[in-house]
Amino acid sequence: MRRPIVFAGGVVTILVAMTTPQASALSLLSQWPDAATWEQRTEWPVSLVFDATLNTGTVDSDSFFVAPADAPGDKVTGTIEFDTTNVADDTVIFTPSERWILGRVYEIHATGDIEDGAADPFDEVFPQGGLFVANVPMDLERPDYNPSDPFGLFINANVLPGFDVVDPESTDIDKPWTIPGMGATEAWKFTTGRPDVVIAIIDNGLALYNNREVADRLFLNQGELPMPQDGTDACAGYDCNGDGRFSASDYANDPRVGPPPASYPLSPGELIEAFADGVDNDGNGYVDDISGWDFLRNRPEAVGIDEWPEGAHGDDRAKDACAMADNDEGDKPGFCPDCTLLPIRVSDAILASHNAVAQGVAYASLMGARVGVAASGSPDYSWENEKVILDAYENGMILIAASGDELGFHHSFPAAGETVVSVKSIFPIPNIELLDFLPLNIVAFTETYCTNYNEHVHVAGSSGACSSEATANVGGSAGLIISRANDLGVELSPGK
């Protein structure tokens, strides 16, 4: 019998075994996954193990259904596989016809008159608690492992490390040391982000707007765009396709918008092409700022030069923070896969002038961003620029910036600024050949070969490399925290 499970903050309380057992020869021995399962991939089936033989004739596709806990009407269809063992552990496997939605809380319901082998009905509510959360997207690349073997886990992405191998599911807020560290999968049990939480990537630009991982996460400035059309008819609102987000795909059936390049999704690039009219329609001082701004060239396309040696550094930061999950693309989702990205270009490399960064920060704040990610460093500094960053902070935007990658103790701006969260990088300890029986990579982190140690470091962020990736990962994490606060109606200031 499981103890009651209370999630952090007392948000959800699952009381198990609260129904009086009915007279039945049949009961559920176990359910997988259940609320205590720390990892459930979005494509995995659920299984129910009964403690006795089932009457196979009484189990069919109507016997069970699975639905989001907050929307029982949204039943997920699937197939029931009856694992006829005819021994005392008959198993029913429910395989969804589509993937579970990342981060949704699902509930398993029994509906039919299922009988055991002696024709006694099973009429209990699941005594183990029916909830589980699909918290690992299918586009997170990881080798197979045995979930029952804690040392069988190998981490090859920066999304999962930090969990407590002794008690990976702990959410006991009285024992914070038992709560897993920077494991996004734990946070995804509560939220995968919200469209109204905007994360500004203040960097050297995207590689291209049409990237499948970010195209439909990019911010659109409603004040510079006409109402989308469905054919010749104006849509009822800017969210034309009704997915809860105003993004490029809302113009998919708009005849004024040209098609994206072959095999690419529609992006703000096509909208700039179609709707840039040389007028600052929303009067914010930026002409045709449909999706971000380039402060280096002072124009509305925040796209960098991918072919340069440093590449489009900003593109990777955008993906670290917000790459879409479960879209058959990429090898890892962003930390906040359902937040919104505001691309702002301030440099052509990973060094940026403090002036340009401050302009980018001011613009991000103006457009309502709650998080700024500045994974670049400025060797210069001015108090006027620092004041701009302070204003953004007081206006509700938290700036997350890289401490730098020189393995040194010098101060790099904007990270060293008074109100800025400075991030250094750590990564899982690589396994050591002579000690390869020890899974070091899942139990501890180590210093990287790059990142700085200036006096102002606030957060050691996990990454695969240096402080840029760690900074964008922390930015995505901040997006998750703000999203969850918004869900709960909690006002979160940058200071909090």
Nearer to Ca ion, 124 or 282 (CB): 282
Site string for Ca ion, 103-142 (x = CB under 5 A): ------------------------------------x---
One of 196, 282, 348, 391 touching Ca ion (CB under 5 A) = 282
List beta partners, residue 116.
54
Nearer to Ca ion, 116 or 139 (CB): 139
Position 288 contacts Ca ion (CB under 5 A): yes
Nearer to Ca ion, 339 or 402 (CB): 339
Position 243 contacts Ca ion (CB under 5 A): yes
Among the residue ranges 1-9, 107-115, 235-243, 445-453, the one whose residues contact Ca ion (CB under 5 A): 235-243
Position 277 contacts Ca ion (CB under 5 A): yes
Nearer to Ca ion, 279 or 490 (CB): 279
Position 301 contacts Ca ion (CB under 5 A): no
One of 39, 289, 301, 320 touching Ca ion (CB under 5 A) = 289
Position 329 contacts Ca ion (CB under 5 A): yes
Distances (CA, A) of 344 to 315, 369, 374, 460: 11, 11, 10, 25
- Count of residues in the chain: 496
Position 280 contacts Ca ion (CB under 5 A): yes
**Closest distance to Ca ion from the beta carbon of 226 (Å):** 10
**Closest distance to Ca ion from the beta carbon of 105 (Å):** 22
**Closest distance to Ca ion from the beta carbon of 463 (Å):** 18
Contact 339, 217 (CB under 8 A): yes
Assigned token pair, 167:
């008690």
What are φ and ψ of residue 214, in 5° steps? -125, -15
**Closest distance to Ca ion from the beta carbon of 482 (Å):** 21
**Closest distance to Ca ion from the beta carbon of 259 (Å):** 18
What are φ and ψ of residue 79, in 5° steps? -110, 145
One of 39, 186, 224, 338 touching Ca ion (CB under 5 A) = 224
**Closest distance to Ca ion from the beta carbon of 247 (Å):** 6
Nearer to Ca ion, 281 or 454 (CB): 281
One of 104, 217, 245, 370 touching Ca ion (CB under 5 A) = 245
Among the residue ranges 14-22, 198-206, 219-227, 312-320, the one whose residues contact Ca ion (CB under 5 A): 219-227
Position 335 contacts Ca ion (CB under 5 A): no
Position 338 contacts Ca ion (CB under 5 A): no
Position 229 contacts Ca ion (CB under 5 A): no
One of 24, 178, 281, 431 touching Ca ion (CB under 5 A) = 281
**Closest distance to Ca ion from the beta carbon of 465 (Å):** 19
Considering only CA atoms, which of 178, 134, 181, 191 is closest in space to residue 161? 181
What are φ and ψ of residue 474, in 5° steps? -65, -35
Nearer to Ca ion, 203 or 288 (CB): 288
Residue position matching structure tokens 């590689």: 207
List of residues contacting Ca ion (CB under 5 A): 139, 224, 239, 241, 243, 245, 250, 277, 279-282, 284, 286, 288-289, 323-324, 327, 329-330
